Amino acid sequence: MNESQQDLEILHDGPDEIPEPVEIGFDAIGKSLRAGWRDFLKAPGYGLFFSAFYVLGGLVLALVAAASGQEWWLMPFIVGFPLIAPFAAVGLFEVSRRLEEQEPLIWREVLGTVFAQKDRQLPSMAMVILLMFMFWVFVAHTTFALFMGVSSLTNITSSPELLFQGRGLTMLIFGTLIGAGFAAVLFSFTVVGLPLLLDREIDFITAIITSVRAVLTSPLVLATWGIVIAAILFLGILPWFLGLFVALPVLGHASWHMYRQIMPEAPADI
Domain borders along the chain are 24-262
pLDDT cut 70: percent of the chain above it? 76
Confidence category of residue 73, pLDDT binned at 50, 70, 90: low
How far is the C-alpha of 194 from the C-alpha of 89, rounded, in Å?
A: 9
For residue 2, the SS3 value is: coil
Q: For residue 266, give the nearest of 196, 206, 184 by alpha carbon.
A: 196
Is pLDDT at 58 greater than 80 in this prediction?
no
Specify the pLDDT at position 145: 76
pLDDT at 25 over 60: yes
pLDDT at 191: 94
Over range 169-179, report the average pLDDT: 81
Cα–Cα dist 43/239, whole Å: 24
Q: What is the pLDDT at residue 85?
A: 66
Q: How much is the average pLDDT of 148-172? A: 61
| Average pLDDT over every residue of 14-28 | 87
